[in-house]
Amino acid sequence: MSRIINRFGICAAVSLLLILATALFSGFAFAEDAEVGAEVTAADVAADSGAANTLITGEVTKAEKKGDGIVVTLDDGKDGVVLNISELRFVYDQKAKAYASLDDVKEGLTIAAVLPKHAPLSLSSPPQTGAVFGLILNSDAGTSKLDIFDENLLSSDGELKLIIGDDTLIGADTGERRVFTADDLKDKELIVFCDVVYTSLPAQTAPSFVLILTAAPEAEAEPSDASATAVSEAKYVGLRAAAEAKGYTVTWVSNAQPITLSKGDITVTVTIGSDAFTYTHLTKDVQPLDSVEKLDLTTRLVDGKTMVADSFTELLK
Q: What DSSP designation does 68 have?
A: T
Cα torsion through 136, 140, 146, 150, rounded to 10? -120
pLDDT at 213: 92
Give 20-34 pLDDT, tens digit per residue.
Answer: 344 333 332 222 333
CA distance 163 to 4: 60
Give Cα 66 to chain centroid, integer Å. 23
Give 173-198 pLDDT, tens digit per residue.
Answer: 888 878 899 999 999 999 999 888 88
- Could you tell me the pLDDT band of residue 2, with boundaries at 50, 70 and 90? very low
Reference 72, options 23, 114, 113, 123; nearest CA is 113
153-167, 227-241, 291-305: which has the highest mean pLDDT?
153-167
Q: Between 1.25.10.10, 3.30.457.10, 3.30.70.100, 3.30.230.70, what CATH number should domain 233-314 receive?
A: 3.30.457.10
Give 116-171 pLDDT, tens digit per residue.
Answer: 888 887 777 788 888 899 999 999 998 899 999 999 999 999 999 999 988 899 99
Instruction: Give bridge partners of residue 16 from the DSSP assignment.
Output: none
Cβ proximity of 161 and 153 under 8 Å: yes
CA of 161: how far to CAs of 37, 170, 179, in Å?
15, 16, 22
pLDDT at 73: 93
Cβ proximity of 281 and 289 under 8 Å: no
Q: How many CA atoms lie within 13 A of 221 on its CB side?
A: 12
- Could you tell me the pLDDT band of residue 261, with boundaries at 50, 70 and 90? very high
Give 197-224 pLDDT, tens digit per residue.
Answer: 888 889 999 999 999 998 655 544 333 3
Strands 188-194 and 143-149, sheet pairing = antiparallel
CA distance 4 to 227: 91
Cβ proximity of 235 and 310 under 8 Å: yes
Averaged over 297-312, what is the pLDDT? 86
| CATH 2.40.50.140 matches 34-220 | yes
pLDDT at 176: 80
294/37: higher pLDDT: 294
